[in-house]
Structure 1
Amino acid sequence: MYDISNLSNLPQLRSLSPATMAAFENFDRAAMAPGTIPRRYKELIAVAVAIATQCPYSLEVHRTNAENAGVTEAELAEAVFLAATMRATAAIAHGTHLVGPRKAKRQNTP
């Protein structure tokens, strides 16, 4: 199902919703444009987000962009663990909704 060649379907998607795709492309360009955060860091952040969101397409695109921006293999590896800890931390934080005062209230409900 996930095949990088599927990105060749982007022109068809664009033709089906040109205004929305143009708005997205403008947003994407603006977010990734040079600014306070250097390009290599933006690409490294994008790699970590792609890992955390499990998007194989973004991972492939931003890995290539990161490498072209001078990101090292060691930095990519560190981004993997950063993404993993962020995802795990989110799971732990969401788990706090299952314990505490609300739990006690549910236990007393018939």
Structure 2
Amino acid sequence: MYDMKRLGNLQTMGKLAPEAWEAFQRFDREALKDGAIPAKYKELIAVSVALTTQCPYCLELHRGRAIEAGANEREIAEAVFVAGALRAGAAITHGVHVCGNGEA
């Protein structure tokens, strides 16, 4: 199902909904460009977010962009563990909804 070649379909989507596509592209560029947070860090954040959302397209794209922005494999590996910690932490903290109702 997931094949990077499918991203070519974005062009078709863009033709079908040009205003939305152009707005998305502008937003994406603005959100990820150098600013108060350097682009390299934004791309490492994007890798972590892509791991938590489990989007294979985002993983591939943002991993490449992180490297282009100057990230190295060690930084990417640490971003992986940040994502893992957040996912594990979310599972644990959501446990308060199913445990601890006074029945110890």
Counterpart of 1:2 in 2: which secondary structure?
A: coil
Q: Percent identity?
A: 53
Q: Which residue of 2 aligns with 1:107?
A: none
Q: Which residue of 1 aligns with 2:48?
A: 48
* Pair member with larger Rg: 1
1:77 paired to 2:72: no
| Count of aligned positions | 103
**Structure 2-normalised TM-score?**
0.91
Q: Which aligned runs of 4 or more in structure 1 are off by greater than 3 angstroms?
A: none
User: By how many angstroms is 1:100 displaced?
Assistant: 3.1
Distance 2:27 2:69 in 1: 21
For residues 58-87 of structure 1, what are the alpha-carbon distances to aligned partners after superposition, in whole Å with 9 as ceiling and x for unaligned?
Answer: 110111111111111111111111101101
Provide structure 1 residue ranges, at least 5 long, that are not aligned to the other structure.
105-110
**Structure 1-normalised TM-score?**
0.86
Provide structure 2 residue ranges, at least 5 long, that are not aligned to the other structure.
none
C-alpha RMSD of matched pairs (Å): 1.4
Q: Which moved more, 1:22-31 or 1:5-14?
A: 22-31
